[in-house]
Amino acid sequence: MARRKDHAPEELKSMAIKAVIEFLQEQPADKLSLRQVAKMVGYSPGTLINLFGSYAFLILAANAHTLDHISDQLESSMTISDDPKEQLRLFANAYLTFAVEHPYQWQILFEHHLDEADDIPDWQLNRISRLFSLLESRLKVLNPQSSEEERHKASRVIWAAVHGICTLVIDDKLFAQETLTGESMIQSLLTHYLGSWTLPEMQS
Amino acid sequence: MARRKDHAPEELKSMAIKAVIEFLQEQPADKLSLRQVAKMVGYSPGTLINLFGSYAFLILAANAHTLDHISDQLESSMTISDDPKEQLRLFANAYLTFAVEHPYQWQILFEHHLDEADDIPDWQLNRISRLFSLLESRLKVLNPQSSEEERHKASRVIWAAVHGICTLVIDDKLFAQETLTGESMIQSLLTHYLGSWTLPEMQS
DNA sequence: GCCATAATTGAACACCGTTTAGAATTCTTG
DNA sequence: CAAGAATTCTAAACGGTGTTCAATTATGGC
SS3 assignment for chain A: CCCCCCCCHHHHHHHHHHHHHHHHCCCCHHHCCHHHHHHHHCCCHHHHHHHHCCHHHHHHHHHHHHHHHHHHHHHHHHCCCCCHHHHHHHHHHHHHHHHHHCHHHHHHHHHCCCCCCCCCCHHHHHHHHHHHHHHHHHHHHHCCCCCHHHHHHHHHHHHHHHHHHHHHHHCCCCCCCCCCCHHHHHHHHHHHHHHCCCCCCCCC
Nearest residue by alpha-carbon distance to C1' of D23: B1
| pLDDT at position B175 over 60 | yes
A189 contacts in B (CB within 8 Å)? 157, 161, 193
Q: Find the domain containing B99 and state its range.
A: 59-195
Type of residue found at A42:
G
Radius of gyration of chain B (CA): 20
User: Does some domain include residue B107?
Assistant: yes
User: Does some domain include residue A73?
Assistant: yes
Cβ atoms of residues A204 and A137 within 8 Å: no
Of the listed ranges A4-18, B57-71, B86-100, the least confidently predicted one is A4-18
Question: Mean pLDDT for chain B?
Answer: 92
Cβ atoms of residues A130 and B122 within 8 Å: no
In whole angstroms, what is the distance from residue B188 CA to residue A193 CA? 9
Type of residue found at A51:
L
Q: pLDDT band at B159, cuts 50/70/90? A: very high
User: Does some domain include residue A171?
Assistant: yes
Give the nearest partner residue to B125 out of A152, A175, A197, using CB atoms: A175
**Quick one: pLDDT at residue A203?**
44
Contact check, Cβ <8 Å, B175/A129: yes
Nucleotide nearest to A47 (CA to C1'): D9
Contact check, Cβ <8 Å, A160/B165: yes
In whole angstroms, what is the distance from residue B147 CA to residue B97 CA? 31
The domain tally of chain B equals 1
pLDDT along chain A (204 residues), means of 10: 73 97 98 98 97 97 96 94 96 98 98 80 82 95 95 97 97 90 98 82 44
User: Does some domain include residue B118?
Assistant: yes
- Reading phi first (left if > 0) and then psi (alpha if -120 to 50, else beta), residue B22 is in alpha
Cβ atoms of residues B87 and B78 within 8 Å: yes
The DSSP annotation for B3-66 comes to ----S-HHHHHHHHHHHHHHHHTTS-GGG--HHHHHHHHTS-HHHHHHHHSSHHHHHHHHHHHH
Burial of residue A80, with CB atoms counted within 10 A of its CB: 0-12 exposed, 13-18 middle, 19 or more buried: exposed
Query: Is the Cβ atom of B192 within 7 Å of strand D at any atom?
Result: no
The closest alpha carbon to B105, from B167, B35, B21, belongs to B21
Give the nearest partner residue to B180 out of A152, A159, A177, using CB atoms: A152
* Phi then psi dihedrals of residue B33, to 5 deg: -150, 160
The interface pTM score, or ipTM, of the predicted complex is 0.92
**Quick one: pLDDT at residue A166?**
98
Provide, in whole angstroms, the distance separating residue B50's CA from nucleotide C11's C1': 17
**Quick one: pLDDT at residue B201?**
45
**Quick one: pLDDT at residue A199?**
58
The closest alpha carbon to A91, from A143, A124, A131, belongs to A131
CB-based contacts of B81: which residues, under 8 Å, 6+ apart? B87, B90
Q: pLDDT band at B143, cuts 50/70/90? A: very high
**Quick one: pLDDT at residue B179?**
93
Cβ atoms of residues B62 and B17 within 8 Å: yes
In whole angstroms, what is the distance from residue B18 CA to residue B9 CA? 14
- Cα torsion through B141, B146, B152, B154, rounded to 10: -80
| C-alpha atoms less than 13 angstroms from C-alpha of B179 in its C-beta half-sphere | 5
Q: pLDDT band at B9, cuts 50/70/90? A: confident
Nucleotide nearest to B53 (CA to C1'): D19
Type of residue found at A96:
L
In whole angstroms, what is the distance from residue A75 CA to residue A97 CA? 14
Contact check, Cβ <8 Å, A188/B173: no
**Quick one: pLDDT at residue A9?**
86
DSSP B120: P
Domain CATH code at residue B168:
1.10.357.10
Contact check, Cβ <8 Å, B171/A110: yes
In whole angstroms, what is the distance from residue B93 CA to residue B70 CA? 12
Nucleotide nearest to A44 (CA to C1'): D10
B175 contacts in A (CB within 8 Å)? 125, 128-129, 132
Q: Write out which nucleotides of chain C lie closer than 7 A to a protein Cβ.
A: 6-11, 15-26
| pLDDT at position B3 over 80 | no
In whole angstroms, what is the distance from residue B114 CA to residue B63 CA? 12
Can you state the percent helix, strand and coil of chain B, rounding each to 5?
70, 0, 30
